[in-house]
Structure 1
C-alpha cells in the first residue's frame, strides 16, 4: 500500500494510522511525496526519520497499489492507481483559505478538491471523525458524502491513551508545580504569532518563572515558511527565558497533555487537549479564515479572550482567574461535535481499510502508540531579576523574572549563576551562585574558599555568594558574615510534594540577611511559586565548608 503525503503535517496524520497494520506481513508500506505544496520541503526528511521506504512520484504514478492512504485531497492524487482512502489533515474543518478552491468552503471539505475534474469522487472512501462532518460535506458534495464513513480520529486516540502519562511528561519537562501555559499558533497571517509576534517573549517577561512555564506549539507549515534560522532568532529571547518549542511530530502532543492552560488562535490543534478538558483562552483577533459555526469558532466564541491591549502586569491575574473559573467538562463538552468513536477509532479505521484491501483484518487488538516523553527546554535563565515580598504571616514570597527581559515591576536584586550568566549580569548581581558539580571536568575548590574568592572578585555592594549542594541543601556567605548552611524542607504535611528550585530560596535568605543580620541562626518560611518551604539557617560545619565546588 502507499501512504501519499503532500506536507509534513499530512504525513504525521498518516503515521498515526500505522498501528492499524502492525504485525501484518501481508502489507508492504511505501511512502511518496505528492508534489505541489509550498510546505513539502521537510516531508521527505520526516519520512526518513520514520524509517519509511520512499518511492519517487514518477515511480508511484506508474504502479498500482492495493490501497492508497492520503490525508490531503490537494495535489494530483487522481494520478495514483488503486483504491484511495482520504483522511482529514486536521480536526474540525474550521478554516477557509483564500485563493484555494471554492470561496468560503472549508479546507478539506471543498468539492473543488474532493472531486475529479469530471465530477466523480476522488476517493473510494472519505474518512471522517464525526457524523456532523459528513453532514457538512453532503451540503457541498452529495457525491463525496455518499462514499463517506465515520472512523474517529487516530491522533485523538493517542491523546486518550497517553493522558495517564501526564505526570511523567511534566517531570520530563521539569515543570514541577508550575502552571504550564501552552500557546497554539497555526500558520499564516491570521495566526497567533502572525498577529501577535511579541506574545511569547511578553509572557515570558511578566509571568513569574517559578509559577509558570511556557510552551509554543507551532504549525509545521509556519516552521517551513520561516526557516529554522529565522525562527530560532525570532524566538531566542523567549527561549532563553525557558520557552519550550516541542517537535512538530508527537512531542507537541505530549506537551499538550501536560498543559494546564491553552492559549490558541483558530487553528485546530488545541481541540485535542480541549477534548481532555484543558481550560482555554482565545487569542484570535478575527479575520477571513475562521468559518462561522465551525467547532473552533464555537469554542472561541464561548472561551474567554486574551485582549491584545491587556496590560502586561495583568496577564498572570487573567490566567489565574481562568484556572479558578474552569469547571469539569467546561472545555471537553465543546469537542463532542468534533470527535466520535472515542476509544474505538483505530478499530473502525482497521475495519474500513482492510475492507478496501480485500483482506481479513488481523485478529490481535489494535492499540494506539503512546506519545513519547518530551524534551525539556534547551535553555533556562542563568540570571533573574528578583522581587521579595513579606506577607502579614511572616512568609517571604520570592518572584523571579528572566533578567534579560524587562520585568513587570521594580526588583529587589539580581541573582546570577557564575559560569553560566552573561558577564554584565554577574557584574550587577547581588546574589552570585553556582551549582556543585555543575561544571564536570572543571577544577574544584572548597565552598569556603570559592565563596570568599567570588566575593573578592566582585567587590562593593551588598553581595552574597552561594553554592547549591543539592535540592534541599545550600551554602551561602553574605559579604559581612560567615558561611551559612541552608537546609530546605517541606512546609507542613504534604502527601504529594514537588521539588522546589533552591535558588529562589537563596534569594530570600540573601534579602533577609541584609535586612536583619540577626537571623543567621533561625528559620524562615518561603513561598516559591505555589509551594511553601521551611528554611533553617546555621553556621556551616567544617565538613560542609569543604564541599567541593
Structure 2
C-alpha cells in the first residue's frame, strides 16, 4: 500500500525509515519499538533503489506500514532519516542515522563498490564509498555495535569518526535476552522426544555456502536419520530477491519434499537459531550470532579473501571446525559437539557488541537527540523474540514442522 499524500499529525516530528532490502528492513524493525506510543513522532517508510529490494515491500507489508513512494520521499523534509544502507540516502532531506545491517562488519567491500580501482578493499559499510558523497560525510550519526568498529572506521574512513557512536547491537541483545525461551521455541518447532535441529544457513554471493547446496543437501537427506534430526535451511533474502522466489523454491523443491524445512526470507530466523543444536554456515551474520547460543558450529564455506582478517568472523573461522566431504556427517556433528569450544565462542560473541543489553537505551538516546526531543519517561525495552509459527503459508514453510 503506497501513501500518496502527507497525513501528518499537527506538531509531529517526521521520521523516515528507508528500506533498501528485506535484510535492512528486518534490522531497522528493531528500532521501531523505541519510537512507539509517542504521539510527538510520526514514522513513514519508503523503499530505496537497490539491486535486491524485491523483498523490501514484503517486510513493510508484514508491519502493516504504508509505503511512501521513493520520489515523494525525495521531495519531503524529515526530522530524522533511518537507514541501514547507503544507496540514494544522500538525496533525502533530513539528518541521517545509519546503522549496520549485519554483525561484526566481517565482509570486505565488493570490488564493484570501490570507486578507486586498484586501491585496497575497505570493510563493507565502513568505507568512503558507503559514507561519503562529493567529499562530505553523509550520515549525521553512524551507529556502531562495538568499540573495535571505531578502529576499523579510522582505517577505512577517518572522516566519519566524528559522527560515529557506539550503541550496541539489537540482535545481540534480543538473542541473549531470549535464550531462556529455548525450550518454548523448540516445542513450537515440534522438536520433541530428543529430536535435534540442524540449521543450515547461507549468506549471499559466490563465496556463500548456498553455492554448495547441490552437494550438501543430498548428504543431509541420506546420512541423517529423519526420526532423529530435523534439518532447516535459511537462505539470505538477497538470494531470494536476486533469483526470485520461484527459482529458489524450485532449486530447493526436492529437499522440501523429503522433509527439509525451508525458512522463507521474511521469517525471523533468531528463534530457530536459539533452538538449533548445530549450525552449518559460512561467513554470514547468522553463523556469527550462533556463538551466542548452544549450537555447535561447522563451516561449509569461508572465503578468506572476502573477509576482514581482524573481524570476529575471521576469528570464528580459526576456531570452528570445517565441514568435510570425506567423512560421514553424523561423525562430524558428534565431533563438533564433543569439541565445542564454549569459552572461545563466548569471547567471539563478546566481539559483536561492546554494549551488551544497552542497545535500546543507547539507540533511543541517539534518535531523540537527533529529533531534538526529550525521551519518554520510561526505560526503553526491546521485546523478546516471538515464538515461531508452525505450518505452511503460500506454499512455503514457515518453520520446521
TM-score by length of 1: 0.65
Q: Distance in 2 between matches of 1:250 and 1:370?
A: 15
Contact 2:99 2:142 in 1 (8 A): yes
Whether 1:87 aligns to 2:103 is no
Gaps of 5+ in 2: 1-14, 394-401
Matches within 5 A, 1:79-228: 79-96=91-108, 97-101=110-114, 103-117=120-134, 119-176=135-192, 177-228=194-245
Q: CA deviation at 1:211?
A: 1.9
Contact 2:172 2:352 in 1 (8 A): no
- The secondary structure found in structure 1 opposite 2:252 is helix
Change (3 A) 1:228 1:69: same
Q: Which has the higher contact order (CA 8 A, sep 6+)?
A: 2
Whether 1:78 aligns to 2:95 is no
Change (3 A) 1:183 1:327: same
TM-score by length of 2: 0.89
Deviates more, 1:205-214 or 1:288-297: 288-297
Contact 2:198 2:229 in 1 (8 A): yes
- The secondary structure found in structure 2 opposite 1:41 is helix
Change (3 A) 1:64 1:137: same
- What residue is the counterpart of 1:236 in the other structure? 253
- What residue is the counterpart of 1:321 in the other structure? 335
Q: CA deviation at 1:134?
A: 1.3
- What residue is the counterpart of 1:341 in the other structure? 355
Whether 1:42 aligns to 2:58 is no
Aligned equivalent of 1:267, options 280, 284, 298:
284
Contact 2:302 2:317 in 1 (8 A): no
Change (3 A) 1:19 1:356: same
Q: CA deviation at 1:378?
A: 5.1
- The secondary structure found in structure 1 opposite 2:261 is coil
Change (3 A) 1:326 1:344: same
Q: Distance in 1 between matches of 2:268 and 2:83?
A: 22
Residues 309-361 of structure 1 deviation map (CA, whole Å, 9 limit, x = unaligned):
324xx110110121122254342221222212111111100011100100001
Q: Which has the larger radius of gyration?
A: 1
Residues 240-289 of structure 1 deviation map (CA, whole Å, 9 limit, x = unaligned):
23222223345311110101111111111222231235321111153632
Q: Distance in 2 between matches of 1:101 and 1:51?
A: 36
Contact 1:152 1:342 in 2 (8 A): yes
Matches within 5 A, 1:509-528: none
- What residue is the counterpart of 1:53 in the other structure? 66
Contact 1:239 1:378 in 2 (8 A): no
Contact 2:168 2:355 in 1 (8 A): yes
RMSD of aligned alpha carbons: 1.8
Q: CA deviation at 1:206?
A: 0.8
Q: CA deviation at 1:135?
A: 1.0
Q: Distance in 1 between matches of 2:66 and 2:142?
A: 25
Gaps of 5+ in 1: 380-549
Change (3 A) 1:304 1:327: closer
Aligned equivalent of 1:295, options 312, 316, 328:
312
Q: Distance in 2 between matches of 1:29 and 1:201?
A: 46
Aligned equivalent of 1:31, options 45, 54, 59:
45
Change (3 A) 1:126 1:266: same
- The secondary structure found in structure 1 opposite 2:285 is coil
Change (3 A) 1:161 1:250: farther
Contact 1:95 1:106 in 2 (8 A): yes
Q: Distance in 1 between matches of 2:270 and 2:353?
A: 16
Matches within 5 A, 1:56-67: 56-67=69-80
- The secondary structure found in structure 1 opposite 2:290 is helix
Contact 1:157 1:342 in 2 (8 A): yes
Contact 2:188 2:390 in 1 (8 A): yes
Q: Which protein is richer in helix relative to its size?
A: 2
Residues 217-247 of structure 1 deviation map (CA, whole Å, 9 limit, x = unaligned):
1110011122222222211222123222223
Q: CA deviation at 1:98?
A: 2.7
Matches within 5 A, 1:150-549: 150-176=166-192, 177-286=194-303, 288-307=305-324, 309-311=325-327, 314-376=328-390
Q: Distance in 2 between matches of 1:183 and 1:377?
A: 19
Q: CA deviation at 1:162?
A: 1.8
